[in-house]
Amino acid sequence: MFTTFTNNKTTSMKPINIKQKLEKFDKQWHPHQIATVDNMQVILAKIQGEFVWHSHKEEDELFFVQKGTLFMRFRNVENPENEWSETIHEGEIIVVPKGVEHCPTTLEGEEVHLLLFEQLSTKHTGEVAHEKTQTAYPNI
Amino acid sequence: MFTTFTNNKTTSMKPINIKQKLEKFDKQWHPHQIATVDNMQVILAKIQGEFVWHSHKEEDELFFVQKGTLFMRFRNVENPENEWSETIHEGEIIVVPKGVEHCPTTLEGEEVHLLLFEQLSTKHTGEVAHEKTQTAYPNI
Summarised one tens digit per residue, pLDDT across range B70-117 is: 999 999 878 878 899 999 999 999 999 999 999 999 998 999 999 999
Which residues in B lie closer than 8 A to residue A63 (C-beta atoms)? none
> What does the alpha-carbon distance between residue A90 and residue A57 come to, in Å, rounded to a whole number?
27
The sheet that has B101-105: what strands, in order across it? B79-88, B70-76, B101-105
Q: Identify the pLDDT of residue A6.
A: 66
> What does the alpha-carbon distance between residue A68 and residue A114 come to, in Å, rounded to a whole number?
9
Residues of A with CB under 8 A from a CB of B: 11-19, 34-38, 40, 42, 59-62, 74, 86-89, 91-98, 100, 117-119
Which residues in A lie closer than 8 A to residue B94 (C-beta atoms)? 12-16
> What does the alpha-carbon distance between residue A56 and residue A62 come to, in Å, rounded to a whole number?
12
Contact B45, B32 (CB under 8 A): yes
Residues of B with CB under 8 A from a CB of A: 11-19, 34-38, 40, 42, 59-62, 74, 86-89, 91-98, 100, 117-119
In this structure, are strands B32-37 and B92-96 parallel, antiparallel, or unpaired?
A: unpaired
Mean pLDDT across A62-87: 92
Summarised one tens digit per residue, pLDDT across range A8-55 is: 777 779 999 999 999 999 999 999 999 999 999 999 999 999 999 999
Measure Cα distances from A61 to A30, A56, A118, B66, B135 in Å.
Answer: 16, 8, 5, 21, 26
Which residues in A lie closer than 8 A to residue B87 (C-beta atoms)? 15
In this structure, are strands B79-88 and B70-76 parallel, antiparallel, or unpaired?
A: antiparallel
Q: How deeply is B25 buried, as exposed, middle or buried, from its count of CB atoms within 10 A (0-12, 13-18, 19+)? A: middle
For testing contact with chain A, the best of B14, B22, B38 (most A CBs within 10 A): B38
Chain A CA closest to residue B59: A38
Chain B CA closest to residue A40: B40
Summarised one tens digit per residue, pLDDT across range B15-69 is: 999 999 999 999 999 999 999 999 999 999 999 999 999 999 999 999 999 999 9
Q: Identify the pLDDT of residue A5.
A: 64
Number of Cβ within a 10 Å radius of residue B42? 24
Measure Cα distances from A135 to A4, A110, A131, B103 in Å.
Answer: 7, 25, 11, 38
- Of the pLDDT bands very low, low, confident and very high (cuts 50, 70, 90), residue B6 is low
Q: How far apart are the first and last CA of chain A?
A: 27
Q: Average pLDDT, whole number, for chain B?
A: 91
For testing contact with chain B, the best of A10, A13, A61 (most B CBs within 10 A): A13
